[in-house]
Structure 1
Amino acid sequence: MKIFKSCLLVAIIVILSACESQPKVTWVSSTDTNTWVNKTYKQQANTSNAVISIDIDIAKQKQEITGFGGCFNELGWEALNVVSSEEKQQILNDLFSQEDGCKFSVFRMPIGANDYAVDWYSHNETPEDFEMVNFSIDRDKKRLIPYIKEAQKINPDISVWASPWCPPSWMKHSKHYACKSNPKFNDLPIEFSSTEELVSRFIMEPKYLESYALYFSKFVQAYKAEGIDISAVHVQNEYNSAQNFPSCVWKPQDLGIFIADYLGPKFKSENIDSEIWLGTVERPQIERVSDILEYKNTKDYVKGVGFQWAGKGAIEAVHAKYPEMELMQTETECGDGSNDWKAAEYTFNLMKHYFENGANSYMYWNMVLDETGKSQWGWKQNSMISIDRTTKEVTYNPEFYLMKHLSAFVAPGSVKLATTGDTDNAIIFYNEAENEVVILAYNNAEENSELKLNVNNQEINALLDAKSFNSIAISL
């Protein structure tokens, strides 16, 4: 009997030891046809034919992650108001909830109209009102501010940054919001239509520059009065691009003049605590960044640099030249409204590129649009969620789940890890506060593939579904 009890005790100890050695793993997987599936992790025996093998050392830390989010646009708010209040609340929770939503925390908004505004406007269209007497954000109280307020109700700690697509039209040589004439969408006279880059459309005279700096200051202060702190301003959306929608091309050196001689000193003199960022960069040439930052003391005012579209070609060089600068992916490429799995695959590769080259944060573009996906200037684009105006049907597109795979698992304050092995389709982060490693992995194969992770000498094996995004959190 004593022998039996001794054997039973040994068996219990062995079982308990095995349970204790089993790592705590949270795993969610999505395929095109089966999204956000909670997987039960079971430690598997080692195999020698692992398709994806990655070694992870939490000591090899890179940049800190500050957050993820999307853009508050007028047409997004219009789409949300198509559905019932209950459905609208569910969508808002799915985006902003810190419990079971995407846990978004950093957001973009326009200063005045962009390509997803209902129509053209700025906050002061009174010609030569250099003192900004007629400055007003009343237009924003109809759509953008209610949109932001709904997000604040769910997460009071959201951070909102803002960028203009176009200054007040009277500050441009053309006196028009567009830079490129298109009779279908604007009435810009053909003599002012040009796609030439490196030539400022802004009137580079001191009284205009001073007034534009005041415009930014008024904007930040007006939003603060509404209970919305603008964490940062990016001085110009895509400052190289002449569009048929609101836009303004700047010569890089002229943007340096505006920041160093006008905007920076204005914010400093008025104790505006919003950061100034150089953004958004949409060209691959580093000179279009350095020519701005190297003007006088521009770097003293600029906190970070934001990139989108072809700007992804500049981020590596900018990170190397200005390692002290924070970096942001400001507008994930929006495609042409396909809203399909192929678009999500493309976005995953963008995420991989940006985080491997120093990005601290990642922004989606339109979180919500109607079924057309079209801007008022004719471009059909992707969105995380689509709402049909006729049927009221709500569709969560593949990129919704991809963004959630990232943002719901990687908490602000986490760090990107440098890893070795088969990392082409994986991005790895470490959250010191939770002592947790998070892997965002994409199995791009047409068949199931084994993922083998060596995390601080602890082995994790998981069988990934074919063509699946996977978020795997490992508590150490």
Structure 2
Amino acid sequence: MHIEGYVTAKDYKIPFAKLEDIEKRDTKNKASLVKIYPDEVLEEVIGFGGALTEAAAYNISSLPYEKQGKILKDYFDEKEGLGYKLVRIHMNSCDFSLESYSCDDVEGDIELKYFNIERDKKWVIPLLKRIKELVPDLKILVSPWSPPAWMKTNNDMKYGGKLREEYRKTWAEFFVKFIKAYQDEGIDIWAVTVQNEPMAVQIWESCIYTAEEERDFVKYYLGPALLENGLSHIKILIWDHNKDIIYERVKTVLEDKEASKYVWGVGFHWYAGDHFEQLKKIKEEFPYIKLVFTEGTQEGGVNLGSWKLGERYAHEIIGDFNNYTVGFFDWNIVLDTMGGPNHVKNYCDAPIIVDTEKKEIFYQSSYYYIGHFSKFIKPGSKTIKSETNDSRLEVLSAKTLEGKIIVVIMNKTEENIDVLLDIDDNLYPVPSIKRSIETFIIG
């Protein structure tokens, strides 16, 4: 069998370097074993991507047209970029908008006569159209951070609050209006989440749902609204929040037969820790449900050159996909050097940072680390079981549509490790370079 490998390492300037081009380093360590089980399939992968927030779109749009195209190509081009297939957008504003707004701020407009997406047409939609030229089969996920203020118990898009009961039908129709407005722009929506982080009262746009409220909204309003308007192909994801209490939370919805018939998947974030076992628990009890990582970012602003940033992303991807996850959405795809714009100063990091004044582009380690998965584990590939006897290594394996085996190995230590890949009792010696991520293609 032929084997080729690509590496991105802290000590090497060239990302995705072919392993043949890297000098071999002798180590005194006994070879560590990575065992791959090609016939033990976990899930079919739908792809990788990130969020085109208003902030991200604004940052990209601040650059000269050619540099805008470079960023889009570096993310979405199948051959030269990361091969992203997924994009998440927000319905109404989120913290990574330039200000708070909704698609209908006219109080009491139950029939949504004043609904419009003019704000989205300024930055987000023009870039989505350019992305779709690169990725015709782009999957777009829509998430709301808050209904309009007039629909809420606290009369404010921010600081939590709840959806007023008398506006539940109107809010479900709001989803329909949004999806159809995008269709009119030539942009098809693939899926929606019910509510971003429904347990978090934030100083930015937020809205609280109990598990029972989310169940009933899907069951009586959102699911039927999509069905009645010819949009039953739009997938619904519930939760869209952290993994720490995810099983108990989604169980309430999924155990209800009338509600669960509308639910395709469960979205989750990383902000409360790993809790990978919670994903496994959901899959074992509700095997038809798809698990999707819908958001994760390093909070606290930009840390240019941080190597731990990439390692954090790879740790999450490996843990998630080894526990039945099918897709991965990063948060903002592009932020400025401050980590914004963000209208409540909740600054974060991103794989690509731009200096909007100097018109410079910076690529963080996370860009390359995500790429070691997204460039090689294409949609339609299937994750497969793999394990290692060395706790210093983290491993994810997959089988492509062409039958090739992909093995991604991360080494966060300061030492080189000799590795033996064991596939059907065939052993392949490969190096694992310190502070690196490597992708091996066998077949």
- Which residue of 401, 412, 429 maps to 1:433? 401
- More displaced 10-residue stretch of structure 1: 331-340 or 452-461: 331-340
CA contact (8 A) 2:92 2:103 kept: yes
1:345 and 1:233 map into 2 onto residues whose CA distance is 29
Q: Which amino acid aligns with 1:377?
A: V
Q: Which amino acid aligns with 1:288?
A: R
Matched, 1:100 2:80: yes
CA contact (8 A) 1:52 1:449 kept: yes
Percent of pairs with identical residues: 28
In structure 1, the residue matched to 2:411 is: 443
1:214 and 1:383 map into 2 onto residues whose CA distance is 33
1:130 and 1:300 map into 2 onto residues whose CA distance is 27
Tell me by how many angstroms 1:256 deviates.
1.0
Tell me by how many angstroms 1:41 deviates.
8.2
- Which residue of 173, 182, 185 maps to 1:226? 185
Q: How does 1:221-300 map to 2 (within 5 A)?
A: 221-272=180-231, 273-282=233-242, 284-285=244-245, 286-295=247-256, 297-300=258-261
Q: How does 1:25-44 map to 2 (within 5 A)?
A: 25-33=3-11, 34=13, 35-40=15-20
In structure 2, the residue matched to 1:388 is: 355
Secondary structure (helix, strand or coil) at the match of 1:416 reads strand
Return the TM-score normalized by structure 2.
Answer: 0.92
Tell me by how many angstroms 1:283 deviates.
5.2
Distance 1:325-1:356 versus aligned 2 partners, 3 A rule? same
Q: Which amino acid aligns with 1:270?
A: N
What is the CA deviation profile of residues 41-91 of structure 1, one whole-angstrom value per residue up to 9, with x for unaligned ones? Answer: 89x9xx995443112121111111111000011111221123322222111
- Which residue of 147, 165, 173 maps to 1:214? 173
Distance 1:377-1:427 versus aligned 2 partners, 3 A rule? same
Secondary structure (helix, strand or coil) at the match of 2:244 reads coil
Structure 1 unmatched ranges of 5 or more: 1-22, 181-199
In structure 2, the residue matched to 1:321 is: 285
2:273 and 2:145 map into 1 onto residues whose CA distance is 16
Distance 1:360-1:271 versus aligned 2 partners, 3 A rule? same
CA contact (8 A) 2:193 2:239 kept: yes
Matched, 1:469 2:433: no
**Greater Rg over alpha carbons, structure:** 1
In structure 2, the residue matched to 1:16 is: none
- More displaced 10-residue stretch of structure 1: 132-141 or 316-325: 316-325
Q: Which amino acid aligns with 2:217?
A: F
Secondary structure (helix, strand or coil) at the match of 2:120 reads helix
1:265 and 1:88 map into 2 onto residues whose CA distance is 40
Secondary structure (helix, strand or coil) at the match of 2:208 reads coil
Distance 1:41-1:390 versus aligned 2 partners, 3 A rule? closer
- More displaced 10-residue stretch of structure 1: 354-363 or 157-166: 354-363
Tell me by how many angstroms 1:433 deviates.
2.1
1:71 and 1:432 map into 2 onto residues whose CA distance is 26
Q: How does 1:370-381 map to 2 (within 5 A)?
A: 370-374=336-340, 375-381=342-348
Q: Which amino acid aligns with 1:150?
A: R
**Length, aligned pairs only:** 430
Matched, 1:345 2:311: yes
Tell me by how many angstroms 1:219 deviates.
0.8
- Which residue of 328, 331, 345 maps to 1:362? 328
In structure 2, the residue matched to 1:191 is: none
In structure 2, the residue matched to 1:7 is: none
CA contact (8 A) 2:322 2:396 kept: no
Q: How does 1:94-243 map to 2 (within 5 A)?
A: 94-179=74-159, 201-205=162-166, 208-243=167-202
Tell me by how many angstroms 1:423 deviates.
6.5
What is the CA deviation profile of residues 193-214 of structure 1, one whole-angstrom value per residue up to 9, with x for unaligned ones? Answer: xxxxxxx611123xx1111111
What is the CA deviation profile of residues 342-390 of structure 1, one whole-angstrom value per residue up to 9, with x for unaligned ones? Answer: 1222222211221122111111111111111032211221101011123
Secondary structure (helix, strand or coil) at the match of 2:237 reads strand
Q: How does 1:56-67 map to 2 (within 5 A)?
A: 56-67=36-47
1:305 and 1:311 map into 2 onto residues whose CA distance is 17
1:48 and 1:24 map into 2 onto residues whose CA distance is 26
Tell me by how many angstroms 1:112 deviates.
1.0
CA contact (8 A) 1:220 1:274 kept: no
Secondary structure (helix, strand or coil) at the match of 2:190 reads strand
Tell me by how many angstroms 1:393 deviates.
2.0
Q: Which amino acid aligns with 2:49?
A: G
Return the TM-score normalized by structure 1.
Answer: 0.86
CA contact (8 A) 1:28 1:38 kept: yes
Secondary structure (helix, strand or coil) at the match of 2:261 reads helix
Tell me by how many angstroms 1:420 deviates.
3.3
- Aligned-pair RMSD on alpha carbons? 2.1
2:50 and 2:105 map into 1 onto residues whose CA distance is 28
Q: How does 1:43-54 map to 2 (within 5 A)?
A: 49-54=29-34
- Superposed structure 1 runs of 4+ greater than 6 Å apart: none
Secondary structure (helix, strand or coil) at the match of 1:140 reads coil
Distance 1:232-1:157 versus aligned 2 partners, 3 A rule? same
- More displaced 10-residue stretch of structure 1: 387-396 or 288-297: 288-297
Structure 2 unmatched ranges of 5 or more: none
CA contact (8 A) 1:223 1:230 kept: yes
Secondary structure (helix, strand or coil) at the match of 2:406 reads strand
1:50 and 1:332 map into 2 onto residues whose CA distance is 36
What is the CA deviation profile of residues 247-274 of structure 1, one whole-angstrom value per residue up to 9, with x for unaligned ones? Answer: 1011211111111011111111111021
1:66 and 1:55 map into 2 onto residues whose CA distance is 24
